[in-house]
Amino acid sequence: MALTSLVVAAQTTQTATVFWLHGRNNSSAGFAYLPQELSDLFPYVKWVLPDAPFRNVTFAGGERMRAWFDITGLDDESLRNANQQDMLASVDAVNHLVGQEVKNGIRSDRIVIGGFSQGAAISLLTGLRSEHRLAGVASYSGFLGMENKTKETASEANRKTPFLLAHGTQDQSISYRMGQEAARKLKSLHYRVTFITYPNQTHVVSDDEVELLSRFLKKVIPFK
């Protein structure tokens, strides 16, 4: 599965790459503001915002939309049972993009993968399954798909990679419980996890979370 992407080149010599994955029924354009707001702070970073493929989403009555995987509902159990074949195909596609960056001379430990909602779920799974040692993984309003298989399929490559999880307590699309559950599972497997709670926040990326991402990037991919 080949992905198209919105790419924002580094302003100076590129020494790092940030991938950011959108949520269901959105596109790369929905997060074009991230590189617009942060590129001046990270002129050495290339931004890659992949577009999820179009697929028929059961939860939406079979409507065709961009989605990283099919779901039957937004309740916790439906999310836990999200289509695993779709998830794995999306993870493989993102991993392929990471591999292309490495082939182009960017060290994998200078690559960050992040996302929102479904994109956050794929970011987490990519970080867990990738053989590339990444600089960091960010999950905003996400959840851990295929949780029952995490222990047996997780790669050792990112055991020491920082994982940043952020979630609003009033999230109506992916419950705050699912974010907490993801953090607990990752911690139980001895991953380096930071979980940030945003009281009363719904299913959005807030200005505070953009600032949080900026601080995270400064930490994991500092200027070189």
- Point out the residues that are catalytic: 117, 171, 203
Q: How far apart are CA 13 and CA 151, in angstroms?
A: 38
3-class SS of residue 152: helix
Largest Cα separation within the chain, whole Å, is: 48
Q: How far apart are CA 183 and CA 139, in angstroms?
A: 10
Tokens of 97: 């993009």
Per the listing, tokens 């992407």 go with 5
Q: How far apart are CA 42 and CA 47, in angstroms?
A: 10
SS (H, E, C) 50-104: ECCCEEEEHHHCCEEEECCCCCCCCCHHHHHCCCHHHHHHHHHHHHHHHHHHHHC
Q: State how beta strands 136-140 and 45-50 pair.
A: unpaired
Q: How far apart are the first and last CA of the chain?
A: 33
Spatial contact of 59 and 26, defined as CB atoms under 8 Å apart = no
One-letter amino acid identity for 70? D
